[in-house]
Structure 1
Amino acid sequence: MTSPSAEQQPFRPEHPALTAADPELAALIRAEEQLQAETLRLIPSENYVSRAVLEASGTVLQNKYSEGYPGRRYYEGQQNIDQVERLAAERARAVFGVDHANVQPYSGSPANLAVYLAFAEPGDTVMGMALPMGGHLTHGWGVSATGTWFRGVQYGVHRDTGLIDLDQVRELALKERPTILFCGGTALPRTIDFAAFAEIARESGAVLVADIAHIAGLIAGGAHPSPVPYADVISTTTHKTLRGPRGAMLMCREEHAKAIDKAVFPGLQGGPHNQTTAAIAVALHEAAQPAFRDYAHAVVANARALADALLARGFDLVSGGTDNHLVLIDLTSRDVPGKTAAKALDRAGVVVNYNTVPYDTRKPFDPSGIRIGTPSLTSRGLGTGQMATVADWIDRGVTAARTGDEDALAVIRAEVAEVMAAHPAPGLAI
């Protein structure tokens, strides 16, 4: 009889030191563990990390300052830290097939700021997808520092298809001549045509930056085309579909390595978070395994099955479906605002986020849509055969949100908890 793997064995730490030192905070952490265990997490930017990633995130590497880069530090005692960072960068290069990887950025937004520092001057024109169309704040949107310090130009999607308007991208790029052209975003349910963006960047003289924060795990697992042959720089977080800690990486061609490294340190930040670097190394090691490839493809298969099930129930989906991990639902025809629906679904144990949809007539803090994704539920082992049940919960929850039926939401929550109990999440203490 074979013994269970580490991930299958019961994992019930009581946080003894924390409980003794700060019982109030320990109780909040246990409550969050319980919440994550019992609810269906459909926010596409969230996931469950492995126990190994959690352990690496909480090591004595926290105690060490390491300004600089391996072999070129400003503090002594880096014998082990240098090896940790080299290992993480080496694994990033191998997993994504890039020339150079910087694993020090604290998160996605600082990573993107480093790109600006490396290639642009204040006041330069930068171009990215408009935030209401599915872009990101740091792609030159007005309320962001990137839209304050730089001249932001935004492109969008076709009103009828919800697909990126590449003709508009080319027209704007040739007219505005941006220094940096971003592709990628936070609410894009379709495959990004990196080759088309590269050609536009070449014609307009822009540095092409592929922000793959949402789809990095899908790319690592071969479930989404890679930007590596096309982009000058690749920016990504290390959580989301990659299932690592909350950190970031910048990857690039060798010709840009010095500019990127200098922009990260000393340009924007001091010492890296070594415990996060170690957890990134663990996540990249996991991403190199055959099981991760299966996971990435299962995420996409689940998202497509969920989209089909929602369409069958009469939901309006931006772009009509999905090619990746994400589904964007326009609730206008359901006569319920996205925020109202999201809060009702949360009470039902179905955790989503309200989100603008392209050409939304409502305000960003009270938009028309909700955004859902399949990374977390796939990590728990749910498959395509269960996506009809998930779609049913969403359908019933949205209806209850419109009618104010709290009893219906309570019934859904009980059903969700039962299914979640049968599919324990990796890394959780429950």
Structure 2
Amino acid sequence: MPISLHIARSRLDTLPPQCVLAVDDLSIAFRQGDKAFNAVRNLSLTVDRGETLAIVGESGSGKSVTSLALMRLIEHGGGRIASGAIAFRRRDGQVLDLARASSSTMRAIRGADIAMIFQEPMTSLNPVFTVGDQIGEAIALHQHKSRSAARAETLRLLELVRIPEARRVAARFPHQLSGGMRQRVMIAMALSCKPALLIADEPTTALDVTIQAQILQLIRGLQDEMNMGVIFITHDMGVVAEVADRVLVMYHGEKVEEGAAGPLFAAPVHPYTKALLAAVPRLGAMSGTDLPAKFPILTVEQAGADETLVPAPAVAHEAQPSIADTTPPILRVRDLVTRFPVRTGLFGRVTGRVHAVERVSFDLRPGETLALVGESGCGKSTTGRSLLRLVESQSGSIEFDGNEISSLSGPALQALRRDRANACGQRRI
């Protein structure tokens, strides 16, 4: 395990040859009105070539703020690097302090030497350009290739990230691709210039488990091929166990524990690390259990004391019995079919149809929770949108509280969506 490095500006040349990044005593501040507060305090870490460092912690612990500071994007969000050094070894071997690098230097580094994969590719990809044009632009900008050469490299990268029919996909817009496909496009763009360091900020959170496994395997394989250092930011301890060589645990803007993944999982030391591991859900563990009114919290019992895990075991209510099958359903779906036209050519001629939902039937009773489960593209979300007629189905029956939804007029349908049947989508932006 690499030792902590204390780096002064005059000693950047002492960075060990295998080390691609060394952060020393980094503090990140934000201003709120006339007051300033530190979102990250005195953080130190290192990343070697070919190594994956996982930074874990709950929302607000400082993980993503740290990644934005490494890319020097924190200034765009009203933050600043208050103190510390960020020693980074570029692909050509040059070592510099990113905390003090000029704006022009950082523009040259982003995408070329350090690349980043964000959680939601739809907020990162430009909706008005095809994915092929966006990847090609990054290649042309950083590698100074001709348009035809950038195009050829784009197709090669799409094939590298296991996208079938790369030429067809390159001509599509982001909204025309599935979530897993969009994330593969983001990976292709991030790796287009063979960066020395890849920062992956929750890259699989929005994906189902099968696509998540494929993306994690893909990142690991490309990392081995390119000998990249990887910083993997996540709150998912299952993902950490699968990908990380070392783990750094953050809480309230500070590093509370760091170590090799195996020993840290086997024998965590800090109470917060123990709490994170204990919070990992296990299949079937919550079935039939009471819902606690409050979850375990960390508190400081007295000034200067270490954080202590304090459980709060109060029960909100008694567990409810299963819904009897004799209860009339509030929602009855029978043989639901939803298909989408595939249009080609200048005039958008329909040449085929995507069979998104085929003959789906189910009942939902009052007080019951029904889970629709399946991998990306299986029709879960389309089924949900079809129930509210956000997309129109071709056939089938959707009966809600005795009323056939397919026969509702515009005002009645709007009233149903507003007052009785609501949807909570995956994306917040």
Q: Assess same fold via TM > 0.5.
A: no
By percentage of residues, which structure has more strand? 2
Larger RCO, structure (CA 8 Å, separation 6 or more): 1
The structure with more helix, counted as a fraction of residues:
1
Give me the TM-score of the superposition, normalised by structure 1: 0.29
- Normalising by structure 2, we get a TM-score of 0.29
